[in-house]
């Protein structure tokens, strides 16, 4: 058998090499859509069976974990598109209090079932941002706050130094000192061996940086100086 014959057997003519990253992205997209339908069904089931499931810890855990997995898949798709230079911000003007009310409504059934209060503290302001990307960031941030809060989560919005600042506060124990920072963590800084990759922070800061005005770019800030005494996540958009 010649070398050419061997190549024909191992790499038949007409076949194409498989782009595994594309296959994986397609699979993640399908899983994200399936989880989205599952979450809708869980919301409907909670409404139909309020008396029996409204405060069920196991049902709350099921809904929380499904929401967390859905958010992770949204972020993975976003980061894949970022790596392919195919993620951009479609910035439009929005009335910020209405936008925050939509985010609150999405999480209200689960929060009520878990006995967690959710409040909004926002000035009557308009902001310019990509609604879908910012929704992905806030969904993940609220979900993290649910894990660590004791009894309350607050969404905030205001203008500081010509930046729109949207925040998520909780009354938990706050961020550890090594997580409190301004700016953008690099992908190389993510630790895949610790069980906490900070993938959500990388996605959030990437989304923030996609928002720009002149030479100013968005960024994220983590601190413990909020009124509730716990952690504060802020995304600053120019």
Query: Tens of pLDDT along 7-32?
Result: 554 555 555 666 656 767 677 677 77
Global pTM reads: 0.76
CA dist 66 and 49 (Å) reads 19
Report the chain's C-alpha Rg in angstroms: 21
What is the domain range of residue 185?
Answer: 92-237
DSSP letters along 47-104, please? HHTHHHHTT-HHHHHHHHHHHHHHHHHHHHHHHHHHHTT------EEEEHHHHHHHHH
Question: What is the rounded distance in angstroms from the CA atom of residue 127 to the CA atom of residue 2?
Answer: 67
Query: What is the model's pLDDT at position 196?
Result: 46
Question: Is the same domain home to 45 and 101?
Answer: no
Tokens of 197: 């990759």
pLDDT of residue 197: 46
Domain boundary among 47, 63, 83: 83
Rounded to an integer, what distance in angstroms lies between the CA atom of residue 132 and that of residue 226?
A: 26
- Asked if residue 5 belongs to a domain, the reply is no
Q: What's the confidence (pLDDT) of residue 85?
A: 74
107 and 79 fall within a common domain: no
Predicted local distance difference test score (pLDDT) of residue 194: 44
Provide the 3-class DSSP secondary structure of residue 28. helix
Q: Among 60-64, 130-134, 155-159, 225-229, name the most confident range.
A: 155-159
Number of domains the chain is built from: 2
> Residues of the chain with pLDDT > 70: what percent?
79
Domain boundary among 49, 66, 83: 83
Least confident of 67-71, 151-155, 224-228: 67-71
pLDDT at 7: 52
Do residues 113 and 55 make contact, with C-beta atoms less than 8 angstroms apart? yes
One domain for residues 69 and 186: no
Task: Report the CATH number that the domain containing residue 152 is assigned in CATH.
Answer: 3.30.565.10
């Amino acid at each position: 058998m010649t070398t050419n014959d061997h190549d024909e057997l191992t790499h038949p003519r007409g076949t194409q090499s498989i782009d595994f990253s594309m296959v994986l992205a397609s699979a993640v997209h399908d899983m994200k859509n399936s989880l989205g339908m599952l979450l809708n069904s869980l919301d409907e089931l909670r409404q139909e069976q309020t008396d029996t499931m409204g405060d069920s810890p196991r049902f709350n855990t099921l809904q929380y974990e499904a929401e967390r997995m859905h958010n992770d898949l949204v972020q993975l798709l976003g980061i894949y598109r970022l790596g392919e230079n195919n993620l951009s911000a479609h910035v439009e003007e929005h009335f910020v209090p209405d936008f925050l009310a939509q985010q609150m409504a999405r999480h209200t059934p689960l929060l009520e079932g878990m006995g967690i209060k959710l409040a909004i503290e926002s000035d009557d302001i308009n902001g310019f941002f990509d609604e879908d990307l910012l929704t992905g960031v806030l969904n993940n941030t609220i979900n993290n706050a649910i894990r660590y809060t004791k009894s309350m989560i607050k969404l905030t919005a205001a203008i500081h130094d010509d930046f729109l600042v949207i925040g998520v506060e909780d009354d938990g124990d706050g961020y550890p000192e090594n997580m409190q920072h301004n700016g953008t963590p690099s992908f190389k800084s993510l630790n895949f061996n610790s069980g906490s990759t900070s993938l959500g922070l990388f996605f959030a800061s990437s989304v923030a940086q996609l928002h720009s005005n002149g030479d100013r770019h968005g960024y994220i800030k983590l601190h413990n100086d909020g009124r509730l005494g716990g952690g504060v996540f802020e995304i600053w958009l120019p």
